[in-house]
């Protein structure tokens, strides 16, 4: 049997009810070893889908860290305001005590 095309498909579960599907088709050269051509196609798909999955994980992690950073900045700003209010309150209390003496 003469093989003219080779197709390989891979579906990767990304979690959260999401998946990624990649399919590649190659035309077989009549002088090429079919097993080697098949293995090369499989490796190409696996490498690409793995790289995309890793990039998606990195992007998701970056997004989560950005949200966390925004929350921390807001918390820092609120705490800074509270510190300034406490300093002002403390200064006014010291002034009242100084006025008594």
- Segment 11-60, tens digit of pLDDT: 988 777 888 899 999 998 888 888 899 999 999 999 999 898 888 889 99
pLDDT exceeds cutoff 70 at 97: no
Per the DSSP assignment, residues forming a β-bridge with 21 are 11
CB 1 within 8 A of CB 32: no
Cβ-Cβ contacts under 8 Å for 37 (sequence gap 6 or more):
6, 26, 28, 29
Model confidence over 52-87: pLDDT tens digits?
888 888 999 999 999 999 999 999 999 999 999 999
pLDDT exceeds cutoff 60 at 101: no
Q: DSSP class of residue 28?
A: P
How many angstroms from the chain centroid is the CA of residue 57? 4
Give the CA dihedral 80, 83, 84, 88, nearest 10 degrees: 170
Does the predicted model carry a pTM greater than 0.75? no
């Amino acid at each position: 049997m003469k093989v003219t095309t080779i197709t390989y498909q891979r579906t990767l579960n990304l979690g959260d009810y999401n998946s990624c599907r990649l399919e590649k088709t190659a035309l077989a050269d009549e002088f090429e070893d079919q097993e080697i051509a098949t293995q090369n196609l499989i490796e190409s798909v696996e490498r690409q889908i793995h790289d995309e999955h890793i990039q998606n994980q990195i992007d998701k992690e970056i997004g989560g860290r950005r949200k966390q950073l925004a929350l921390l900045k807001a918390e820092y700003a609120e705490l800074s305001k509270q510190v300034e209010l406490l300093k002002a309150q403390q200064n006014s209390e010291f002034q009242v005590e100084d006025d008594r003496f």
